[in-house]
């Protein structure tokens, strides 16, 4: 129940390295991360790697040309288990303990969640998802008890507005920039981003006040938000949050229409240019 403990400094030194200091473990993990990333990218360039992409997109067509999709999936599963084993070994070295939580449904679900957020259609998507996952689960949780709520809302926003993940947003903007049309969409993009940020800021203030009032009011009704002391039982804080949400929401709805129109026109022009070039 308590897990299995390990001792990473056990055994003889190797080139003077004991893995006692955390910095040595960091460089070990960084080395294997770099090596595994190269290995996974190299796999995507192999016939099997390209075939697994084809199986993902259209398994029926792959079977029609003579490939066994089950065998392709099986070989890829074996290879993915190899890289997962590397990750598990490094985790055991870093934390020096292995518990049932490491192989629980919650941990597996979190990995899938952040992979989707990063973008499953791009090689670097899961890397972006892992960075976001560490930020939300490790760093953000040190500042607010509502981090799970923010994670849920962020996931819903990705599903609604960017089902391809954060990587797809980056790639779409890079494509627009490649064709020299980013300046055209930047004003409307900046406007919709600024308005969304204002509404988000108001929502954060309201959520943090509500969480403090609900979970921590025994220590007083005052809390610190962005370096400012706010009384969650008084009206001014709620008024500010409401005004920010209202103003930001209205501005977002108005600027969103303009942005969608400009974005659609630009992408239509890009598609036409690509067809002419072909």
Contact assessment for residue 242 and residue 222, using Cβ atoms and an 8 Å cutoff: no
Instruction: State the pLDDT confidence band at 1, using cuts at 50, 70 and 90.
Output: low
Contact assessment for residue 129 and residue 166, using Cβ atoms and an 8 Å cutoff: yes
pTM: 0.79
- pLDDT tens across 181-192, in order? 899 999 999 999
- pLDDT tens across 113-160, in order? 899 999 988 888 889 998 998 888 888 888 888 888 999 999 998 998
Q: Is 53 helix (H, G, I), strand (E, B) or coil?
A: helix
Q: How long, in residues, is the chain?
A: 278
- pLDDT tens across 58-93, in order? 889 988 888 899 999 999 999 999 998 998 888 888
pLDDT for res 266: 92
Contact assessment for residue 247 and residue 156, using Cβ atoms and an 8 Å cutoff: no
Q: What is the spatial distance between Cα 200 and Cα 158, in angstroms, rounded to a whole number?
A: 15
Left if phi > 0, otherwise alpha if psi is -120 to 50, otherwise beta: which for 66?
left
Q: Give the mean pLDDT of 2-11.
A: 76
- pLDDT tens across 209-250, in order? 998 888 876 778 888 888 888 888 889 889 999 999 999 999
Q: What is the spatial distance between Cα 189 and Cα 268, in angstroms, rounded to a whole number?
A: 17
Q: Is 228 helix (H, G, I), strand (E, B) or coil?
A: strand
Q: What is the spatial distance between Cα 36 and Cα 22, in angstroms, rounded to a whole number?
A: 21
| Residues of the chain above pLDDT 90, percent | 41
Smallest Cα–Cα separation from 154: which of 170, 171, 173, 140?
Answer: 140
pLDDT for res 105: 84
- pLDDT tens across 28-42, in order? 899 999 999 999 999
């Amino acid at each position: 129940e308590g897990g299995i403990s390990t001792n990473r400094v056990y055994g003889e030194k190797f080139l003077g390295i004991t893995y006692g200091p955390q910095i040595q473990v960091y460089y070990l993990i960084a080395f294997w991360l770099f090596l595994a990333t190269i290995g996974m990218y190299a796999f995507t360039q192999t016939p099997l790697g390209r075939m697994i992409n084809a199986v993902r997109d259209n398994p029926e067509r792959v079977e029609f040309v003579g490939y066994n999709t089950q065998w392709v999936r099986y070989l890829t599963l074996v290879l993915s288990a190899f890289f997962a084993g590397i990750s598990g070994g490094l985790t055991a070295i870093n934390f020096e303990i292995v518990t049932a939580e490491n192989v629980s449904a919650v941990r597996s679900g979190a990995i899938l969640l952040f992979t989707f957020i990063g973008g499953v259609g791009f090689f670097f998507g899961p890397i972006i998802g892992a960075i976001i996952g560490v930020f939300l689960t490790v760093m953000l949780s040190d500042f607010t008890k509502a981090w799970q709520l923010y994670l849920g809302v962020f996931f819903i926003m990705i599903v609604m507005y960017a089902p391809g993940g954060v990587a797809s947003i980056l790639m779409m903007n890079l494509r627009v920039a490649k064709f020299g049309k980013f300046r055209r969409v930047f004003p409307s993009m900046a406007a919709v981003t600024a308005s969304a940020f204002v509404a988000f800021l108001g929502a954060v203030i309201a959520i943090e006040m509500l969480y403090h009032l609900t979970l921590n009011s025994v220590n007083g009704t005052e809390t610190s938000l962005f370096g400012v002391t706010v009384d969650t039982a008084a009206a001014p804080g709620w008024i500010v949050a409401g005004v920010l949400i209202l103003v930001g929401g209205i501005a977002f709805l108005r600027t969103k229409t303009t942005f969608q129109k400009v974005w659609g026109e630009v992408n239509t022009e890009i598609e036409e240019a690509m067809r002419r070039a072909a």
